[in-house]
Amino acid sequence: MPTPDSETTTSLLRQIPSVDRLIQAAAGEEGKSPIASEYLTLVARDVQTEARNRIRAGEALHSDHVEDLMRQRLGKLASGSLKPIVNGTGVIIHTNLGRAPVSQETARAMADAASHYVPLEVNLESGNRGGRGSEVSEALQYLTGAEAALVVNNNAAAVNIVLSALAHGQKVVVSRAEAVEIGGGFRIPDVLRQSGATLTEVGTTNRTRVSDYEDAIDEDTAALMKVHASNFVILGFTAHPSISEIVNVAHAHKILAIEDMGSGCLIDPRQFGLGAEPLLTDSIGAGADVVTASGDKLLGGPQAGIILGKKQVIDRIASHPLARALRVDKTVQAGLVTTLRHYLRGEATETIPIWWSISRDLDWLRSRAVGWAEAIGDARVSTVRSESVVGGGSLPGRTLESIALAINLPHQAVDTGARYLRTAVQPIHPRIQDGAILIDARTVLAGEDEIVVHGVRQMLGQIA
């Protein structure tokens, strides 16, 4: 005899609507579904499977719930989820929120290139085939002093092709303190192995001397490599040779000096109260043969891997077979050159969003947050001192004083309130700290104030 429970389960399972019924339900009143009919059947079958599993797990899903499920799944499938979100976290280069947003002008250039034909490999004067990426290289040469440049998909790809082209079958010397993991599985020892090079680790975790590098060099050594340990700091009894000391040793032994800088900084962040960050110009100025960096960390451009250095060395890298596999498309070329032009014009701190955020001062941030609080006009909001960080593996351990809007809710409503903000039509990603929901005034982009005011008011209305 079935128990009453299993009877209910059986009857619920029997009520699961047919594929045809689900498709009809999805079409709504106008009889028009958001996706083409050949895919509707697949979605309907998945919804039936989900319903069966949930009913068997004890949920009382009735046929109208299952129809709702169908409509929800179709809604998601048809409208996509990578839409803009306001960054209230205080983390400027937030990896989970897509790292650096590009400037308005850069975004327009990328959209224009994407939706039109562009003279990517045509010399318009002669009508003949022209150099791909020459505009980007020229801008990078002026900005950094490098003889030549090559752009690939991201910095991980840049390090990979550099080592494959220059050190395959040979040894590369790296300090033990710099044989690091950057995140997302990018580990320097693994990348070296993958490119066919052998890692020679020298020194200790906290101290490496120039002589450690010197002693490790033999006839199989292709290069000395410095890696910017961008996502952690070792404090105390430490010593690490500078890039110019490494360059001197490498060149005395007629081998290459390579630096993986990571963040790709062109502006000294110390002027904004942050710590020192190695600049691309420092490494090129010190005579490094090859320097690699990300396009979407402190450079503030689209995702890219930037390879700079001596012309002869860059030519070797560019002619490696991986160059074709890792090359960037027209939208990245258009975006990168537009971002670099902001630096050439000397306007980067106003036009590049991450530098705009880094360079806002405390008075400005306070009046912004107070303005939000006044416009919201609710006793549950106030402004508080906050701390922002650069993030994205840049300037670890360094913070920037900031001001945040604080939304003070009863303890049990905090998570609900934060979820409401994150899933709103115009979503906001806040930070939860000391039991309050914070929206940091530094990371909210210019022009997003109205979204914050409206979003918080709507949320408070729901919570009340």
Ligand X SMILES: *Cc1c(COP(=O)(O)O)cnc(C)c1O
Residues at the interface with ligand X (CB under 6 A):
154-156, 159, 182, 186, 227-228, 230, 260, 262-263, 294, 305, 393
Q: Cβ of residue 174: shortest distance to ligand X, in angstroms? A: 12
Note the Cα 1 to chain centre separation in Å.
59
CA distance 52 to 103: 48
CB closer to ligand X out of 212 and 260 = 260
Residue ranges with strand state E in 2-46: none
CB closer to ligand X out of 51 and 197 = 197
Q: Say which DSSP state 18 is in.
A: P
CB closer to ligand X out of 323 and 463 = 323
Q: Cβ of residue 247: shortest distance to ligand X, in angstroms? A: 18
CB closer to ligand X out of 162 and 369 = 162
Which residue in the shown chain puts its C-beta closest to ligand X?
262
On whether the CB atoms of residues 166 and 256 are closer than 8 A, the answer is yes
Q: Cβ of residue 440: shortest distance to ligand X, in angstroms? A: 23
Q: Cβ of residue 192: shortest distance to ligand X, in angstroms? A: 12
Q: Cβ of residue 187: shortest distance to ligand X, in angstroms? A: 10
Q: Cβ of residue 333: shortest distance to ligand X, in angstroms? A: 16
The C-alpha angle 96, 97, 100, rounded to 5 degrees, equals 115
CB closer to ligand X out of 392 and 417 = 392
On whether the CB atoms of residues 290 and 165 are closer than 8 A, the answer is no
CA distance 425 to 418: 14
Q: Cβ of residue 259: shortest distance to ligand X, in angstroms? A: 9
On whether the CB atoms of residues 133 and 150 are closer than 8 A, the answer is yes
On whether the CB atoms of residues 166 and 223 are closer than 8 A, the answer is yes
Q: Cβ of residue 189: shortest distance to ligand X, in angstroms? A: 13
Per-residue buried b or exposed e for 228-262, using 16+ beta carbons within 10 Å of the residue's own CB: bbbbeeeeeeeebbebebbbbbbeeeebbbbbbbb
Q: Cβ of residue 184: shortest distance to ligand X, in angstroms? A: 7
A 10 A CB-CB count for 397 gives 10
CB closer to ligand X out of 392 and 430 = 392
Q: Cβ of residue 294: shortest distance to ligand X, in angstroms? A: 3
CA distance 388 to 396: 12
The C-alpha angle 202, 293, 308, rounded to 5 degrees, equals 95
Alpha helix ranges (H) inside 319-413: 322-326, 330-344, 348-351, 353-359, 362-376
Q: Sign of dihedral through CA atoms 323, 121, 341, 362?
A: negative
Q: CA torsion 76→79→82→87, rounded to 10°?
A: -90
Residues 6+ apart with CB under 8 A from 119: 130
Give the HSE-up count for residue 233: Cα atoms under 13 Å, Cβ half-sphere.
Answer: 10
Q: Cβ of residue 100: shortest distance to ligand X, in angstroms? A: 11
CA distance 174 to 309: 19
CB closer to ligand X out of 200 and 263 = 263
Q: Say which DSSP state 196 is in.
A: T
User: Exposure of 288 by Cβ count < 10 A (0-12 exposed, 13-18 middle, 19+ buried)?
Assistant: buried
CB closer to ligand X out of 99 and 431 = 99
CB closer to ligand X out of 140 and 451 = 140
CB closer to ligand X out of 230 and 388 = 230
Q: Say which DSSP state 91 is in.
A: B
CB closer to ligand X out of 156 and 403 = 156
CB closer to ligand X out of 182 and 313 = 182
Backbone angles phi, psi at 176, to 5 degrees: -60, -30
Q: Cβ of residue 156: shortest distance to ligand X, in angstroms? A: 3
